Structure 1
Amino acid sequence: MLSVEAIPLVHASLGERELAAVAEVFASGWPAGQGPKGKALEAQLARKYQMSDAVAVSNCGAALHLALMALGVQPGDEVIVADYTFPAPAHAVRYLGAVPVFADVRPDTGTVDPQAVADLIGPRTVGVIAVDTVGMPADYAPLQALADRHQLFVVEDAACAVGATYQGRQAGALAEVACLSFHGRKGATSGEGGALLATDPAIAANARLRSSFGIGSIFDLGNVVGLPIPEFTEIGYNFKLSDIAAAILQVQIDRIDELLARRTAVAAQYAELLADEELLTVPQVPDDRTHAWQSYMVTLDADVDRAAVAADLRAQGIGCGHGTWATHLQPVFASGQSCPVAADLFHRNLAIPMHAELAASQVERVVDALRGALRAHSTTRVLGGAA
């Protein structure tokens, strides 16, 4: 029996240019963090996003943690967070002894609903973490207006959104502080990695110091004449990004437009091929923004058995996943809050293969397999496009 070629859910677009960049780091003798490549990456990010400063760190979770510390979040403070997302924002709030308050999302975009945020603002609220859900920017104009009215900070979790835009502005530059991810499934990747971007250089300086145990760059200290001995004046963390990863990212950031164009073409093909499918809904992108397509999530009809569909796809070598999380339903964050839209999307979304290396023939195969699985596992049994 002939084996069927697997179509993975995600695949990193790494090649010879990235390998050459790593070789340069090996030759330099400084593979650790906050060295020449890290500094060059930070300058590249600050220019690209037109922010005052950028801090390269080990992952987006670290960036979120550093952001909240730099913004002065204290134990007992409440931070409103988008509910439908990987739970990193809520983790970051909890790291500081603060309270994550979960805001429901829009049913069409999966991004945080500004009205839900408005309804949750109380006397202990200090800020909002908006999430660009799987690559779709949130509604920053009304969110910022709310924040200004109530003197709150806004942090943009742009982990999935490198390359996306909102009202002509780049995701990653839509709030006073933004956090990026360079995880293996993102539009630009070094396997793991992240960055904090800030409009206020003092916020970035605070984050940079805390990301290196509170003593700053050892590389810089090693280049000072004499023997400077740093003092540990506050508790910091080891959140540095290695120069190996930074070198890879310099290449990847340079390739964002190319890689995003390929992802966008895949999304357009999915939308065209699935336009008449009554057992699911394809993603809808509002006119005032563009999507980074970190993931391609379809929303299944309520009568479809999602687990059975996923099992069918995986049996045919096609990667898929549940989508993302309704954070308020996770046991560690149980609080009695209700976010019904996020809960519904959590139970009905299905992520299908999305990456820049997908061929048109592979997309066609995914769609054919998905249609067959939908019909096999739907109680409505839609056939031939009609109920």
Structure 2
Amino acid sequence: MKTIKVISVIMMLVVITSCSKDKIPEPLNKYLTADYIPVNRTITGIELAQQGNVTYDNVTYNTDFYRNLSYDAGIEGKYTFLVLNPANNPSGEAPLWVYFHGGSVGYYNDQQQYQCLKRQNELSWNKEETYENLVNDILGERLFDDGVLRDNTLSRRIQEGYRLLVLSYSDHDFYMGTGIDYPNNPYGGQVNGLQASMSAVDFVAANYPTTYVYSHGTSAGGVGAYAMGVAYYLEGTRLSGIISDCGPLLAQGTEIYDEYEGHPESLQMPTFKGQGVLEKIGVFGNFENGLYAESMVSNGFDTPLLSIAGKADPYYNCHLPVMSKAIVDGYDNNVDWLFRNLIVEIEEQPNSLHKVLILDNTGHVPSIKNNPTANNSVDDFIDNILSTNPAIPFN
């Protein structure tokens, strides 16, 4: 594990001692709610579809590619996942790094019109992801710049001998679907993102020798990585750690959409609404359930969570005027306002391993960029977890 420290004028770990907690929705009870049930899932439909070798930075890795016949994608195909084995010991015991890639979020409105980013459409992330897609478009684009290996969180874990599990994103649901009917989808079906993701982890942990298990997500995947950690926690399994780059589920997160609805420079379509997202993601979208990060931490959630965000991230609409609610509450940027309650909740938890890292002059998903501050902070986060001698999650 890297131990290099970088001294920076960038604000590293956010500490706001003068801030008081704002009123946010409270959970119905301390941990669970009447609506929450453990995520119903199966590994029986998982089959090996392809094997191969890939070479990254002159090192060759064995890969296994699986299709999960139990879960349909939103429009066409099935859910898939890729296992990248350690280079020097592909069948050996290793920690597991579960990676949720990004892709924003989308939904069908009540006219069955798809609502998403302006540059996307209903097929962008509602279909099966192929082996080539996960190897080249997902891993390749996050590991290299013009053929040069990035020094980022993914490359560091691969070089350190982790086994990498790369999940597909096939219901455009923040990876949160638990099997509810896909709202307004003209093709029918269910929203299965969390079911498929957890079944992939269950399968890999059962079939590959696994020690510690971390979930790491970027952009929309940052929400999914958090959701999976919460779902396992509520089932009694504590993952080793969660790295949520671009944020976990926050109580007022969808207000970022509503504030800028119709703005010509917003990244979303003019008619995109936060409520449509909440309806699609089901149990996690009902904030009375208390499954958002502020509530979970307040109620003792102790799976270590590192939340990363940049103050110049256009996906928080940081390129537009500051949210009116943020200004009223005395904030000069959207990111500090959105994370304010989570920060206070963490401060109130004794000896917490949770961290919030908000970076000045930083854009989208710094943990997969050449950003020393973000990536060294992930290393430190892992080191702090390991110093507590944590249990093996699926032992």
Question: Which of the pair is proportionally richer in helix?
Answer: 1
TM-score by length of 2: 0.28
TM-score by length of 1: 0.29
Greater Rg by CA: 1
Question: Which of the pair is proportionally richer in strand?
Answer: 2
